[in-house]
Amino acid sequence: MTEDKDGNKRSVGDEPHQYQAGSTTHREEDQWKHRPPYRVHEKGTFDVKWRGKCHCGAIQYELSREKPLASKYCHCTTCQRMHGAPFQWAAIFHKTDINFTSGHHDLGWYDPTSKSTTHHLPCKVQCAYCRSPIMDEGRNMILLFPTLIEGIKTPRGREAFEVQSHMFYPQRVVDIKDGKPKFQGLADESPLVDEDTGEVIPGTEPKKEDK
Ligand SMILES: [Zn+2]
Ligand SMILES: [Zn+2]
């Protein structure tokens, strides 16, 4: 048994059912603000390579990496619906590569699997005001949407964020005949499909790693 600050006895791990609005809690759900990608860096301590913002400007962020770890188009049905677009353009970054300079309390979440709006990973992150998609937050990485980034149309932006491949290509609503690798599912974890016929290319199934 432990005693809380009001002197109420309770067993360790026995969580009260309700928290008063405004009360300070140390619940896991409230800890996101202090961890990457939401941890706010002190001025001058973040090496800024790019800046991005939502449509209304409430959400603003900086990136410290010149090139994403990877850049891909995702043609899956969930991305089509969530973005209201033929496909999603996703640039993968470490969670420590981003610094929110404005609006990090104005974010909204959505988990397409459970259809819940609590902060639960993996989830979609939006501006709570204008609803611009900001990123997909995974357990270890974030997927940013390069069209929010200033300078994306410059030669430097086009080069840095150029895509390497397409994912879930059989679910596409438009053909993109750019000669880049097209995966049936996740990149490097599914076979390649032919960009003209949409058929799986025999012999391109990824090898199972030896355990
Ligand atoms: Zn906004
Ligand atoms: Zn997708």
Distance of CA 147 from the midpoint of ligand 1 (Å): 14
Please give all residues whose CB falls under 5 A of ion ligand 2, grouped by chain where several chains appear: 74, 76, 79
pLDDT per residue rounded down to tens, the chain (211 residues) = 444 444 444 444 333 333 333 334 455 666 777 889 988 888 888 999 999 999 999 999 999 999 999 999 999 999 999 999 999 999 999 999 999 999 888 899 999 888 999 888 899 999 999 999 999 999 889 999 999 999 999 999 999 999 999 999 999 999 999 999 999 999 999 999 999 888 999 999 988 764 4
Q: State the distance from the centre of ligand 2 to the C-alpha of 178, rounded, in angstroms.
A: 19
Ligand having the closest approach to the CA of 61: 1
CA 4 – ligand 2 centroid, Å: 45
Question: Which ligand places an atom closest to the C-alpha of 76?
Answer: 2
The CATH number of 31-171, from 3.10.180.10, 2.170.150.70, 2.60.120.10, 1.10.10.10, is 2.170.150.70
| Ligand nearest to the Cα of 126, by number | 1
Ligand nearest to the CA of 172: 2
Ligand closest to 59 (CA) is 1
Q: Per residue in 62-92, pLDDT tens?
A: 999 999 999 999 999 999 999 999 999 999 9
Tell me the ligand closest to 169's alpha carbon.
Answer: 2
**Which one of the ligands is nearest to 78 CA?**
2
- Reduce the secondary structure of the chain to three states and give it as a string: CEECCCCCEECCCCCCCCCCCCCCCCCHHHHHHHCCCCCCCCCCCCCCCEEEECCCCCCEEEECCCCCCEEEEECCHHHHHHHCCCCEEEEEEEHHHEEEEECCCCEEEEECCCCECCCCCCEEEEECCCCCEEEEECCCEEEECHHHECCCCCHHHHHHCCCCEEECHHHCCCCCCCCCCEECCCCCCCCEECCCCCCECCCCCCCCCCC
Q: How far is the CA of 55 from the centre of ligand 1 (A)?
A: 5
Query: How confident is the model at residue 186, as a pLDDT?
Result: 94
pLDDT, tens digit (0-9, with 9 covering 90-100), for 32-53: 778 899 888 888 889 999 999 9
Domain boundaries, the chain: 31-171
